[in-house]
A and B are shown apart, each in its own frame.
Chain A
Amino acid sequence: MDNAQILLDHDYPSTLDSVDAAEAEILKAAQSAGLDEDDEHRIGMAVRECMVNAVVHGNRYNRNKFVHVGVFKQDDRFTIRITDQGEGFEVQEVPDPLQEGNLLRHSGRGLFLMGAFMDEVKVRKAQPMGTEVVLVKVLAPPQ
Chain B
Amino acid sequence: MSVKLNTREVGGVTVVDVEGRITLGEGSSALRDLIKDLVSKGQIKVLLNLSEVNYIDSSGIGELVSGFTNVANAGGAMKLLGLTKRVKDLLQITKLYTVFDVHEEEKHALASF
Selecting from B75-83, B88-96, B103-111, the interface stretch reads: B88-96
CB distance from B100 to the nearest CB of A (A): 11
Instruction: Out of B59, B66, B93, B95, name the residue touching A103 (CB < 8 Å).
Output: B95
* CB <8 Å contact, B57 and A45: yes
* CB <8 Å contact, B57 and A49: yes
Contact A107 B58, CB 8 Å, known A16-B25, A19-B24, A41-B86: yes
List residues 34-72 of chain B with CB under 8 A from any CB of chain A.
Answer: 57-59, 61-63, 65-66, 68-69
Instruction: Out of B23, B68, B94, name the residue touching A48 (CB < 8 Å).
Output: B23
Q: Which residue of B lies closest to A55 (CB)?
A: B24
A residues at B contact (CB < 8 Å): 16, 19, 41, 45, 48-49, 52, 56, 97-98, 103-107, 109-110, 112-113, 116
Beyond the given pairs A19-B24, A105-B62, A113-B94, 5 more chain A to chain B contacts, judged by CB atoms under 8 angstroms and listed by A's residue number, are: A52-B57, A56-B24, A103-B95, A104-B65, A112-B94
Contact A105 B65, CB 8 Å, known A41-B86, A52-B24, A98-B95: yes
Interface residues on B, range: 10 to 19
Contact A106 B86, CB 8 Å, known A16-B25, A48-B57: no
B residues at A contact (CB < 8 Å): 23-25, 57-59, 61-63, 65-66, 68-69, 86, 93-96, 99
Nearest 7 interchain pairs by C-beta? A109-B58, A106-B62, A110-B58, A116-B93, A16-B25, A107-B62, A98-B95
* CB <8 Å contact, B94 and A97: yes
26 residue pairs from A and B, CB less than 8 Å apart: A19-B24, A41-B86, A48-B57, A49-B58, A52-B24, A52-B58, A52-B59, A98-B94, A98-B95, A103-B94, A104-B69, A105-B62, A105-B65, A106-B62, A106-B63, A106-B65, A106-B66, A107-B59, A107-B62, A109-B58, A109-B61, A109-B94, A110-B58, A112-B94, A113-B57, A113-B93
